[in-house]
Amino acid sequence: MAVHIKRIYEPKEDKDGMRILVDRLWPRGLSKQDAEIDLWLKEIAPSPALRRWFGHDPARWTEFQRRYREELEKNTSAVEELERQVGKSNATLLYAAKDLLHNHAIVLQRFLGKD
């Protein structure tokens, strides 16, 4: 099964499959109805401390990836839940960050081995 990533602000498409929001905070300016998500898995997102430290600074990207993977390795229940969900069909991990090249959904997709 394929796991895609995309910004939650992009329109829903048939190829999305199960739409899973992987942010800890609800995206700004978006109603829950307009989001069209199937699951909001807050627990899989980076910890608040890591998110604040990273601050979407590309200079911290390499270290952020290492730290987030470390958090994921310890967060077995959330990772197992995500693996159960994406194992059923195609899935799209949704995130709100503006930076398409430096965001936690990329790390998560790679961690799952679905990039």
Name the pTM for this structure: 0.93
Partners of residue 92 on adjacent β-strands: 4, 19
For the packed helices 61-74 and 104-111, what is the interaxial angle rounded to 10 degrees? 50
Q: How far apart are CA 13 and CA 67, in angstroms?
A: 32
114 pLDDT more than 70: no
> Is the Cβ–Cβ distance between 79 and 93 less than 8 Å?
no
**Tokens 């942010």 -> residue:** 23
User: What is the residue extent of each domain of the chain?
Assistant: 3-111
pLDDT in tens, 40-62: 999 999 999 999 999 999 999 99
Q: How far apart are CA 12 and CA 53, in angstroms?
A: 31
pLDDT in tens, 62-93: 999 999 999 999 999 999 999 998 887 899 99
Q: How far apart are CA 89 and CA 32, in angstroms?
A: 23
115 pLDDT more than 60: no
